[in-house]
């Protein structure tokens, strides 16, 4: 797999620095308390954020949660909103979570980036706004791109999937873009997510599709085909979904932004400005 280049542009040099885990020097300007937490409650524990909040030009708050160990606080950035949607980004001790919601509805997790105990970084975005069409990127401790996955998870809302456990059935997801010479087929990835049927590809073919998707100005057509064979007769059950072109570039760009924050770490990310 080739070294990660922030899709079509050079990656910011600060991402090449190893992450800093120094204790945060931030204080909470205000608090957002979950249900059941009294207005006067302060955090017993405040998570040091993996990156410095504020890169997106939003208002900083501390979210308070009740846990068995006491009241936990973590930093969140509430981004500028419109009449139709709202966004916020959570900065946890080992990950960043980005949420998007239509006004009056619950927000969906659309991107997340996490550094695990081995120093590898796992980052994903849901191009279908929480309904289960994902790009997952994996980076090594040296911040070089190790793998790319293109994933379709029907149970998240992408499709209504019939039972495919019957051995006489097979199924696949087909991705179509006008810019591609031919459709891309996603087979089932066995045991990829426990208890959930997941279709996907990975490696160079996934990377090539991601680049094509980023550069496309066309909607992405997704089709689920389930094939049944019974008494020498074959039938096909199909469903289709369309993802508008504007979501492709917006969410892949945003994934690149939070990847840079996690890769840089707390101190270096102070200089980041994505607004």
Closest CA to 161 of 235, 233, 228, 237: 237
Task: Work out the percent of the chain whose per-residue pLDDT is above 90.
Answer: 61
Q: Which of 153, 158, 127 has the alpha carbon at shortest distance from 239?
A: 158
Listed in sequence order, the residues at least 6 apart from 76 whose beta carbon sits closer than 8 Å to its beta carbon are: 32, 53, 60, 61, 62, 63, 88, 89, 90, 91
The chain-wide mean pLDDT, for the chain, equals: 86
What is the pairing mode between strands 220-230 and 169-176? Answer: antiparallel
Q: How many CB atoms lie within 10 A of CB 77?
A: 21
| pLDDT greater than 80 at residue 30 | yes
Least confident segment among 2-11, 156-165, 166-175, 253-262: 2-11
pLDDT at 168: 58
pLDDT at residue number 164: 55
Alpha carbon distance 238, 254 (integer Å) = 32
d(CA 132, CA 98): 15
Whose structure tokens read 């909103």?
81
Please give the Cα distance from 46 to 26 (Å, whole number).
10
Give the integer Cα–Cα distance in Å for 19 and 267.
8
65 or 13, which is more confident?
65
| Predicted pLDDT at 166 | 56
* Residue 151 burial (CB count, 10 A): 23
Sheet containing strand 169-176, edge to edge, reads 184-186, 169-176, 220-230, 233-243
Task: Give the pLDDT of residue 142.
Answer: 84
User: For residue 10, what pLDDT is reported?
Assistant: 31
pLDDT band at 39 (very low <50, low <70, confident <90, very high): confident
pLDDT at 75 over 50: yes
In the structure, what pLDDT confidence band is assigned to residue 227 with cuts at 50, 70 and 90?
Answer: confident
Residue 4 has pLDDT above 70, yes or no: no
Distance CA 258, CA 22 (A): 19
Name 59's Cβ contacts closer than 8 Å, sequence gap at least 6: 77, 78
Q: Taking residues 178-183, what's their average pLDDT? A: 93
Closest by CA position to 126, among listed 215, 11, 222: 222
Gap between the Cα atoms of 53 and 90, Å rounded = 8
DSSP letters spanning 191-206 = TSBTTB--EEEETHHH
């Amino acid at each position: 797999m080739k070294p990660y280049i922030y899709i079509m542009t050079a990656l910011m040099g600060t991402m090449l620095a190893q992450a800093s885990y120094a204790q945060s020097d931030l204080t909470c300007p205000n608090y957002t308390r979950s249900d059941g937490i009294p207005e006067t409650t302060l955090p017993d524990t405040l998570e040091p954020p993996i990156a410095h909040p504020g890169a997106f030009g939003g208002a900083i708050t501390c979210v308070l949660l009740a846990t068995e160990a006491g009241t936990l606080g973590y930093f969140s950035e509430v981004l500028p909103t419109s009449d139709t949607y709202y966004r916020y980004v959570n900065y946890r001790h080992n990950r960043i979570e980005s949420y998007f919601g239509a006004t009056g509805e619950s927000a969906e997790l659309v991107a997340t980036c996490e550094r695990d105990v081995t120093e590898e970084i796992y980052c994903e975005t849901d191009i279908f706004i929480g309904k289960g069409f994902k790009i997952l990127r994996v980076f090594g401790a040296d911040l070089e791109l190790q793998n790319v996955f293109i994933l379709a998870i029907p149970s998240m809302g992408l499709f209504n999937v019939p039972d495919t456990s019957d051995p006489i059935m097979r199924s696949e997801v087909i991705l179509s873009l006008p810019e591609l010479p031919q459709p891309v087929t996603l087979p089932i990835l066995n045991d990829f997510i426990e208890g959930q049927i997941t279709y996907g590809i990975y490696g160079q073919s996934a990377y090539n599709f991601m680049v094509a998707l980023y550069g496309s100005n066309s909607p992405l057509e997704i089709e689920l085909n389930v094939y049944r064979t019974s008494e020498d007769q074959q039938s096909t059950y199909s469903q289709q979904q369309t993802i508008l072109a504007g979501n492709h570039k917006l969410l892949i760009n945003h994934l690149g932004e939070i990847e840079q924050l996690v890769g840089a770490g707390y101190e270096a990310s102070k200089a980041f400005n994505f607004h």
